[in-house]
């Protein structure tokens, strides 16, 4: 039976926009994952049955600048951090923790990357949707130690709801990804028989206090708002619309501001389970 095609807006060609140097440069402005999310990952890495060949080895797929790998490295024996964007990896290597000896950075597509299994845990922070699921999920299944998990993480920094609602039409107007449709990654994987969930945890909230400039850069670290793809006129109009919306919400009291910083929060969801599927 052939597998339903992936939703179009998650096509790998869009994922490749993370190779842009400007996206990589903006990425460190994203809020860090809450500490509780990293703690859940460390626990999962220790939960696989039996010692893996290399102690608690972790594979971080679509590692980007290492928002997961750099935090997890001191808590595990080895973390293989794989990403096809050399710009994201180079940025990650320069960030705090990027030179930790437990991290092995590899610039490669996850579909074909050299792996060193068995892994006690595979982490996918905001990345799996871009990949070829029919290839990657069976690969991960084969690479995990018995009882090992795939953990899929996402940050939510769109709170409060008034901010999310106010920004939604601006996003719809300016998104460079014209194929965008709201979809649930885990539901899509489960429908295709590629993932069986074992558990999930909502982590945080933790405070996140960006300046306007940092907030805008954070938005431009998002694939749909990559500056190279939007073009300068749309970037300027998008930035002005976001700044106006934030200003209005502050005046209404829906968003709080102090010392030139917005008093926002970040939460994360960690869902873990078993990757499924057979290789072709
Ligand atoms: C939104 S970033 C997430 C980075 C990091 N995991 C985090 O949680 O912040 C998505 C990353 O997935 C990478 N990516 C997308 N498709 C990929 C693929 N097929 N192989 C390797 N990396 C991929 C992109 O280059 C990008 O760095």
For strands 57-61 and 78-83, give the pairing.
parallel
* Domain membership flag for residue 67: yes
Cβ neighbours of 164 (radius 10 Å) = 13
Q: Which atom of ligand 1 is nearest to the CA of 130?
A: 16
* Domain membership flag for residue 232: no
Residue 28: which residues within 8 A CB-CB, separation 6 or more? 65, 91, 95
Residue numbers of the domain that contains 189: 8-156+178-205+265-275
Q: Which atom of ligand 1 is nearest to the CA of 110?
A: 20
CA 109 to each of CA 44, 83, 97, 178: distance values in angstroms, whole numbers, following the listed order:
25, 6, 23, 24
Q: Which two tokens stand for residue 119?
A: 């892994």
Ligand 1 center–CA 124 separation, angstroms: 8
* Domain membership flag for residue 46: yes
Q: In this structure, what CATH number is given to the domain that contains residue 152?
A: 3.40.50.150
Q: Cα–Cα–Cα angle for 32, 126, 49, nearest 5°? A: 90
* Domain membership flag for residue 78: yes
Is the per-residue pLDDT at 170 higher than 70?
yes
Which of 61, 130, 220 maximizes ligand 1 atoms within 8 Å of its Cβ, making it the mutation to test the pocket?
Answer: 130
Token pair 């980007």 is found at 64
- Measured by CA distance, the residue closest to atom 27 of ligand 1 is 64
Q: Which two tokens stand for residue 154?
A: 């996402």
Which of 6, 18, 28, 125 maximizes ligand 1 atoms within 8 Å of its Cβ, making it the mutation to test the pocket?
Answer: 18
- Measured by CA distance, the residue closest to atom 18 of ligand 1 is 109
Largest alpha-carbon pair distance within the chain? Answer: 58
* Domain membership flag for residue 221: no
* Domain membership flag for residue 33: yes
- Compute the mean pLDDT over every residue in the chain, rounded to the nearest whole number: 95
pLDDT tens profile 71-96: 999 999 999 999 999 999 999 999 99
Residue 110: exposed, middle, or buried by beta-carbon count in 10 A (0-12, 13-18, 19+)?
buried
* Domain membership flag for residue 193: yes
* Domain membership flag for residue 172: no
The count of structural domains within the chain is 1
Distance from C-alpha of 140 to C-alpha of 142, rounded to nearest angstrom: 5
- Measured by CA distance, the residue closest to atom 13 of ligand 1 is 62
pLDDT tens profile 215-248: 999 999 999 999 999 999 999 999 999 999 999 9
Provide the pLDDT confidence category of residue 259 given band limits of 50, 70 and 90. very high
């Amino acid at each position: 039976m052939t597998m339903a095609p992936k939703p179009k807006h998650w096509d790998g060609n869009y994922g490749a926009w993370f190779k842009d140097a400007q996206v990589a440069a903006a990425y460190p402005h994203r809020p860090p994952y809450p500490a509780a999310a990293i703690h859940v990952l460390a626990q999962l890495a220790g939960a696989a049955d039996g010692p893996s060949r290399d102690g608690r080895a972790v594979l971080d797929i679509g590692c980007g600048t290492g928002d997961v790998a750099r935090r997890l490295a001191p808590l595990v024996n080895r973390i293989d951090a794989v990403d096809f964007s050399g710009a994201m990896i180079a940025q990650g290597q320069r960030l705090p923790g990027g030179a930790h000896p437990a991290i092995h950075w590899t610039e490669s597509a996850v579909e074909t990357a050299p792996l060193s299994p068995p892994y006690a845990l595979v982490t996918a922070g905001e990345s799996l949707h871009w990949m070829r699921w029919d290839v990657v999920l069976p690969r991960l299944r084969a690479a995990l130690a018995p009882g090992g998990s795939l953990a899929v993480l996402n940050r939510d920094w769109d709170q409060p709801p008034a901010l999310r609602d106010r920004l939604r039409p601006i996003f719809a107007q300016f998104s460079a990804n014209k194929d965008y449709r709201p979809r649930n990654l885990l539901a899509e994987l489960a429908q295709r028989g590629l993932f069986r969930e074992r558990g999930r945890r909502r982590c945080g909230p933790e405070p996140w206090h960006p300046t306007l400039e940092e907030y805008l850069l954070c938005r431009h670290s998002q694939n749909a708002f990559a500056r190279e793809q939007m073009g300068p006129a749309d970037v300027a109009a998008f930035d002005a619309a976001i700044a106006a919306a934030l200003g209005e919400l502050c005046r209404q009291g829906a968003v709080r501001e102090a010392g030139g910083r917005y008093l926002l929060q970040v939460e994360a969801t960690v869902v873990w389970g078993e990757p499924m599927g057979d290789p072709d």
